[in-house]
Amino acid sequence: MKKLLFNGFLLSSFAALLVACSDETDAPADGEAQGNTNSSGDAISAIQDRGELILGAGDQLPGFGYVGSDGEFVGFDIEFGKVMAAAILGDAEKIEFRPLSAQERFTALQTGEVDILIRNTTWTLNRDVEIGLNFGPTTFYDGQGMMAPSDSGIESLEDLEGARIGVEQGTTTELNLADQMSKRGIDFETVTFSDQDSLIAAYESGTIDAWTTDQSALVSRMDTLQDPEGHVILNEVMSKEPLGPAVLDGDDQFYEVMYWATNATIQAEEFGITSENVDDFLDTEDPDIARFLGVEENLGEQLGLENDYAYQIIKQVGNYAEIYDRNLGADSPFNLDRGLNALYLDGGLLYSPPFR
């Protein structure tokens, strides 16, 4: 059922003309961009000298970023952090994780507390220009949805007249909600929370009537509710939420590594190269694949990396489909269809530029 709901969203989100996200509340104070490694232009050397990538991540969102029962950080976003560590350090495990709330995440990047942010973060103009981020390829095309108890009689946004609706501070969510409700002439009350766990606690206790965030997060948190079957995700999709990794402006090399390392997972899926079969391709006669894996030419060196960086990504972490299936798709509790997150060859939006 969840799978169908989500798929419905993915299709409808593409068809709808939706509001752009702007969240000025995320803007940092003047001067916060001082002293970070990224903007100095040598983040790659700093990470290599340190021997570890510092990853700003989420820890409250199953499927994307959370702490598993063994105390390890796991999830789709976490694995894209591993992609970066494999590319830069040749070892996907050399990561120090910094769990960040939505509100903390941009300051952490700007002050140099983290090298890269991979935390279900939406690419918006405001974050790109005003906050000074450089977004990598979108790893998950999402959209904002709404959850309410099934027995509440709430079946559409129109049924939320007078409702108290929970959102998390420092997200795109609050403005999207205000815009959509004002367009529909619906009066409601926004109740903000500093983190997702406190929002969920308020929702479960009935202090708020409904809550809203990215559809993927609604699906993921539904399973953690006391009665997962007792809630519905409404059909309306309120925004476009392209989620992906981000670094600070000012370091072209780091940006390019983030860009091509992420795309390497997508290109590997297109080539049919997986963590299981990548060694079989090392003596390939296909020049595109030989170049991609660093068997021929020097694409890795052009990025300032080892020439086998793409091989290391695929061998140690996997291609996009493997990462998706493990965390969100068929091999996960969420069983989400790929939808817009399929390769362009399969009707989705994932399309890597050529590795040449």
Ligand X SMILES: N[C@@H](CCC(=O)N[C@@H](CS)C(=O)NCC(=O)O)C(=O)O
Q: Smallest distance from the beta carbon of 27 to ligand X, in angstroms?
A: 13
Residues 147, 252: contact at Cβ < 8 Å? Answer: no
Determine if 270 is a binding residue for ligand X (CB under 6 A): no
Q: Smallest distance from the beta carbon of 25 to ligand X, in angstroms?
A: 10
Determine if 174 is a binding residue for ligand X (CB under 6 A): no
Instruction: Tell me how far apart the alpha carbons of residues 159 and 165 are, in angstroms, rounded to a whole number.
Output: 12
Nearer to ligand X, 213 or 327 (CB): 213
- What's the chain's length in residues? 356
Determine if 168 is a binding residue for ligand X (CB under 6 A): yes
Instruction: Tell me how far apart the alpha carbons of residues 234 and 297 are, in angstroms, rounded to a whole number.
Output: 51
Determine if 101 is a binding residue for ligand X (CB under 6 A): yes
Determine if 341 is a binding residue for ligand X (CB under 6 A): no
Q: Quick one: tokens of 26?
A: 């995320």
Q: Which of 157, 199, 257, 343 binds ligand X (CB under 6 A)?
A: 199
Q: Smallest distance from the beta carbon of 65 to ligand X, in angstroms?
A: 7
Q: Which of 36, 107, 122, 262 binds ligand X (CB under 6 A)?
A: 122
Q: Smallest distance from the beta carbon of 334 to ligand X, in angstroms?
A: 14
Q: Quick one: tokens of 95?
A: 């990561």
Residues 355, 291: contact at Cβ < 8 Å? Answer: yes
Stretch that binds ligand X, among 120-128, 146-154, 269-277, 342-350 (CB under 6 A): 120-128
Residues 109, 117: contact at Cβ < 8 Å? Answer: yes
Q: Which of 52, 91, 195, 325 binds ligand X (CB under 6 A)?
A: 195
Determine if 37 is a binding residue for ligand X (CB under 6 A): no
Residues 42, 251: contact at Cβ < 8 Å? Answer: yes
Residues 154, 198: contact at Cβ < 8 Å? Answer: no
DSSP structure class, residue 22:
-
Nearest Cα residue to 166 out of 197, 218, 211, 225: 211
Instruction: Tell me how far apart the alpha carbons of residues 99 and 115 are, in angstroms, rounded to a whole number.
Output: 13
Q: Which of 172, 265, 316, 352 binds ligand X (CB under 6 A)?
A: 172
Determine if 327 is a binding residue for ligand X (CB under 6 A): no
Stretch that binds ligand X, among 148-156, 170-178, 183-191, 202-210 (CB under 6 A): 170-178
Stretch that binds ligand X, among 54-62, 74-82, 155-163, 302-310 (CB under 6 A): 54-62
Nearer to ligand X, 135 or 292 (CB): 135
Q: Smallest distance from the beta carbon of 295 to ligand X, in angstroms?
A: 38
Q: Smallest distance from the beta carbon of 245 to ligand X, in angstroms?
A: 12
Determine if 214 is a binding residue for ligand X (CB under 6 A): yes
CA–chain centroid gap for 195, Å, is 17
Determine if 121 is a binding residue for ligand X (CB under 6 A): yes
Q: At what angle do helices 76-89 and 43-50 cross, to 10 degrees?
A: 90
Which residues fall within 8 angstroms of residue 315, CB to CB, at 6 or more apart?
Answer: 275, 278, 279
Stretch that binds ligand X, among 11-19, 52-60, 280-288, 335-343 (CB under 6 A): 52-60
Determine if 139 is a binding residue for ligand X (CB under 6 A): no
Q: Which of 241, 269, 270, 322 binds ligand X (CB under 6 A)?
A: 241
Which DSSP string corresponds to 226-269? Answer: SSGGGEEE-S-----EEE--EEETT-HHHHHHHHHHHHHHHHHH
The footprint of ligand X on residues 57-76 (CB under 6 A) is 58-61
**Radius of gyration, CA atoms only, the chain:** 20
Determine if 213 is a binding residue for ligand X (CB under 6 A): yes
Q: Quick one: tokens of 79?
A: 């694995």
Please give the residue ranges that form the binding site for ligand X (CB under 6 A). 58-61, 101-102, 120-122, 168, 171-173, 195-196, 199, 213-214, 217, 241, 243
